[in-house]
Copies of this chain bind each other. A is one copy, B any other.
Amino acid sequence: MMIGRVIGNVWATRKKDSLSGSKLMIVQRLDAVSGESLENFVAVDCVGSGIGEKVLVTVGSSARKALENTEAPVDAAIVGIIDEAKD
């Protein structure tokens, strides 16, 4: 999994029906040690996260395990809100 910060939303009126109701968030990956910003991507929120929060993201087919509809075409999901990452 990776650590990231929610930095925005994506709106898509025309989309696969199986994505209806999904909250699509833009996530900026962070280096867990330095906090440096890495690449960004879009993930489906599964835990009620908001913009500015630090989150845990799962990618690949495992992301679908976090969804209500596990048959949706989703490859990244926000699965936790981070209290603290301590090294």
The minimal Cβ–Cβ distance linking A28 to chain B, given in whole angstroms, is 7
Residues from 46 to 87 in A contacting B, C-beta threshold 8 Å: 46-48, 56, 58-66, 71-77, 79-87
Q: How many copies does the complex hold?
A: 5
Q: Judging by beta carbons under 8 Å apart, are A1 and B76 in contact? A: yes
Q: Mark A22-46, 1 if CB is under 8 A from B, else 0.
A: 0010101001110000011111001
In angstroms, Cα B11 to Cα A79, docked, is: 12
Min CB–CB distance A73 → chain B (angstroms): 4
Give the distance in Å from the alpha carbon of A87 to the alpha carbon of B9 in the complex.
7
Interchain CB contact under 8 A, B80 and A19: yes
**Is A73 within 8 A of B83, CB to CB?**
no
